[in-house]
Structure 1
């Protein structure tokens, strides 16, 4: 299967992505994946923080909790647009992060740069905005793990780790929206509820809109990644490794 540009579907990449998604889905409730879930919550809150800065506001502090909840406390400039942007930044931010990870991992094959960028991001967010000891410890501890992995892990292990983080982030972004869409108890305390109060548009409408945007973004990122021609730093495809073996 080819795109208009002539890039072919890499079935090895596709199979690996499906495998990673399946592992994440099947072992979703395993405590082993707890750090990854909190990591994606940090992506969600970072989306709020980035949106706040983009509209000219200031971020006061970010809180993460062991129960996989989080909050971003900000000072916003007056205006309807600013509030809509910031309230929407969390859900869409985690989806954008998942799409960016898919592209960086599969298309651009950045390997250690992905872990290095995550290390810098977590360090900056922790030092600037952590509002409690748990948030600071999680950000700096995870940043240390990412940094050590970027420096010392073999290339194959870096590849597997990047692939799984990308797949898990995309999966969690969709699950996060699913909970707000179908669980009315959660939705009543979510960003969708804040937007419903602001706009008088029902929270479930916002949840549907965010879900469509997030799923569409992730689908496009996955499609482009699976069809892209390798550029720059390259990770051999699964089929190429099999032939050499």
Structure 2
């Protein structure tokens, strides 16, 4: 419990600090992108059909799909918030491992796949184009402190949004369970109250956020140098 309280304190401080950064609101849609992409991937894995994804300027999003059967609604509805929380933890793990460009590459792949397969108009289409371009520039040209600052901006904003979302969902479920998004869908599918599902998302978000922050506060590892087979004394590595 103490770790969770510390996690909440760190998240509150992080939210306050990142709000002071110009254009930080633009990057908050990364969490929405991952959330909706998670819905889409699980839908396809369960033989459903993804019709389209919409990303909105207020950081909300919707995935329109046809499910292969009624029981598919359960894993598909679970995938959004849980997928976003796990992804935020993955970003911090890659930071701890010193794999910043791997993390940027992964985010860029999700953006490009979303563009090609699911998002074809509106704000989301423009946002994905700009975001993919910025990420490509950072991956290609940024290094050192600039790369680290850009990566951590994405990681912390994604972490914040993936944690704030479930808390907001729980408040909606308390006030009106019909307005609790994925939790409402789960209530209809299972009969369990939306608030129970929202609290499940809160627990998963706190677990992932706690582990993400533990990766951040650990000393960052450096990728092991790779030696050329033609020389035993000349290491080479990619710039990060």
Q: Which residues of structure 1 form unaligned runs of 5+? A: 1-17, 235-245
Q: How does 1:108-147 map to 2 (within 5 A)?
A: 108-147=97-136
For residues 20-73 of structure 1, the C-alpha deviation after alignment (integer angstroms, 9 at most, x for no partner) is: 973433444877222112221111111111221222222111001112211011
Moved more, 109-118 or 86-95: 109-118
TM-score, structure 1 normalization? 0.78
TM-score, structure 2 normalization? 0.80
Q: Secondary structure at the match of 2:28?
A: helix
Q: 1:165 to 1:30 in 2, by over 3 A?
A: closer
1:205 aligns with 2:196: yes
User: What RMSD, in angstroms, separates the aligned Cα atoms of the two structures?
Assistant: 2.5
Q: 1:187 to 1:159 in 2, by over 3 A?
A: farther
Quick one: distance in 1 between partners of 2:194 and 2:161? 20
Q: Which residues of structure 2 form unaligned runs of 5+? A: 1-8, 226-240
May I ask how many residue pairs the two structures share in their alignment? Answer: 215
Residues 109 and 233 of structure 1 are in contact (CA less than 8 Å); yes or no, is this contact kept in structure 2?
Answer: no
Q: Secondary structure at the match of 1:66?
A: coil
- Which of 78, 89, 99 in structure 2 is aligned with 1:88? 78
Q: Could you tell me how far 1:216 is from its partner in structure 2?
A: 1.1
Q: How does 1:64-213 map to 2 (within 5 A)?
A: 64-80=55-71, 82-106=72-96, 108-183=97-172, 184-185=175-176, 188-213=179-204
For residues 115-167 of structure 1, the C-alpha deviation after alignment (integer angstroms, 9 at most, x for no partner) is: 22222221121111114232221112100000001111232111111122112
Q: 1:25 to 1:163 in 2, by over 3 A?
A: same
Q: Could you tell me how far 1:205 is from its partner in structure 2?
A: 0.5
Q: 1:93 to 1:112 in 2, by over 3 A?
A: same
